[in-house]
Amino acid sequence: MIVKIFFLVDFFVCLFLFLMEYSNLSVLMYITTFTTAMSLYNIFTIYNFRLSLSSVILLYTIVTQFGLIIPYYYIGSFTVSEYEYWTLEFLENKYLIPAILIGNIAIISYEISRLFIVKQSCGKDEVNIQKHNVHKKKKIYNISTSLLILVVIYFVYFIFLGGTTLFGSYGDFNESSLRKNFLYPFILIMFYLGSLYLSTCGDIKSNKLGWILWILIASLFALNGNKGEFLYPLLAILGLKGVQGTKTSLQTIVFIAFIMFIAIPTITALRGLGLVSNLSNASTSLYSGFVEIGMQLRTSVYTLEFLDIGTINFLYGQSYWQPILNIITPFMDHDVAAFQLKVELNGFGYNQVIESYLNFGIIGVILFFGLLGGVMCMFENKYARDEIKLAFLGSITCTLLNATRNYFAFVPGHVLVAYIFYLLIKKYALQNK
């Protein structure tokens, strides 16, 4: 009850400051630190020290919004010394403060919604554990390994045909025929699905082939400068295991720290040159991973600026209904939501906090993140003991994690394809021997 009160007070304070166009950065950073600390506390206590699928979305959103600004404010400018001024000039922009406030409101809305829906019984307990259907699990494992094998075949095919390199730069990968092929989005979804369904099949030792394939695919992505492609399913797997009842162990914390502080910054630092040939030049720090991901805050700053000067206009929901219309009427010409914004922010990516604001203002942020937190929390409780449904929800989590640093446009299509795969997998896994 006390936690709910803290979040509600925090919410109304941030909303009031936003509406009053508050401009004191120091006070705002203390509020932001409080929001972050309370959210992190909630992440690890809401399910009794277990992560969940809704938790990893929140965790990644926090890093996206505050991963740069908090280290920069408290530690100093040397935290961003590897970036050029033109990259960091948004930190001196007058729209930085409202952008930070919007991030606070989004995160608090998400958490308030979760707090009113969460069930502490989520996951398996030690006394009344669900009996596993061995035959069903074997079928799920066969499906997951088959999906991962198809992903490997896709990579091998393009590597041998010269459609991509085995050890290349991120730019080369993005320009390769492997990446530009129309099948690539489906391959990415198959990797998500294969990863999540594999994680429901038991421990790693019992499913060695599947995890060897997963590590191989993750390595192929990493060696070409891709981080999110393996980070998203990895986070979703951790969340899924938490929903099933696995507490966050010290080994898990160390593993997450290695990914965030060593692997991600190394890939980021070298992906423009090629990871393997320049590995000796890698340098990392305790905050560079968060700073790099937190750079998405600049898209919020510039969106607010563009709205104010009239470069772009509010979308009034186009970001959300346009992709669905594109699916329903695939052979018609359609406008591209936020086309002008994509031109202005070419290569910057985007983030869902400010895209929800771009559609319906601050009300859009509250509704989008309030609904997202509530729906994710409701379904992870509902599906905690159903491996097939939970894996499907995990695959949706991967897509939402991807959207955390991108535009929403691809989300409905990814969800539809994942749902079709889910129906096929469910039918196969539950049929008689």
Q: Is residue 391 within 8 Å of 199, Cβ to Cβ? A: yes
Closest to 143 (Cα-Cα) out of 417, 430, 433, 428 = 428
Least-confidence region, from 14-23, 76-85, 215-224: 76-85
Residue 86 — very low, low, confident or very high, per pLDDT cuts 50/70/90? confident
Most confident of 17-21, 251-255, 264-268: 17-21
Q: Could you give the 3-state DSSP secondary structure of residue 99?
A: helix
Least-confidence region, from 24-38, 110-124, 264-278: 264-278
Residue 289 — very low, low, confident or very high, per pLDDT cuts 50/70/90? low
Residue 180 — very low, low, confident or very high, per pLDDT cuts 50/70/90? confident
> Could you give the CA distance from residue 57 to residue 65 in angstroms, rounded to a whole number?
12
The burial class, CB within 10 Å (0-12 / 13-18 / 19+), for 202 is middle
The burial class, CB within 10 Å (0-12 / 13-18 / 19+), for 361 is middle
**123, pLDDT greater than 60:** no
**141, pLDDT greater than 70:** yes
Report the chain's C-alpha Rg in angstroms. Answer: 21
If one compares 117 and 169, the residue with the highest pLDDT of the two is: 117
Least-confidence region, from 2-6, 57-61, 159-163, 418-422: 159-163
> Could you give the CA distance from residue 41 to residue 359 in angstroms, rounded to a whole number?
31
Please report the pLDDT score of residue 431 as a whole number.
72
> Could you give the CA distance from residue 300 to residue 358 in angstroms, rounded to a whole number?
9
Closest to 112 (Cα-Cα) out of 46, 32, 34 = 46
If one compares 83 and 359, the residue with the highest pLDDT of the two is: 359
When pLDDT is averaged across residues 356-382 and rounded to a whole number, the result is 95
Please report the pLDDT score of residue 265 as a whole number.
66
**349, pLDDT greater than 70:** yes
If one compares 173 and 282, the residue with the highest pLDDT of the two is: 173
> Could you give the CA distance from residue 417 to residue 186 in angstroms, rounded to a whole number?
8
Q: Mean pLDDT for the chain? A: 85
The burial class, CB within 10 Å (0-12 / 13-18 / 19+), for 145 is buried
Count the residues in the chain: 433
Residues 383-405 pLDDT 10s: 988 889 999 999 999 999 999 99
N-to-C CA span, the chain: 49
In sign, the C-alpha dihedral spanning 134, 139, 140, 141 is positive
Closest to 285 (Cα-Cα) out of 82, 11, 33, 35 = 82
> Could you give the CA distance from residue 236 to residue 238 in angstroms, rounded to a whole number?
5
> Could you give the CA distance from residue 390 to residue 376 in angstroms, rounded to a whole number?
11
DSSP 183: T
- Structural tokens at position 45: 């206590």
- Structural tokens at position 327: 């699916």
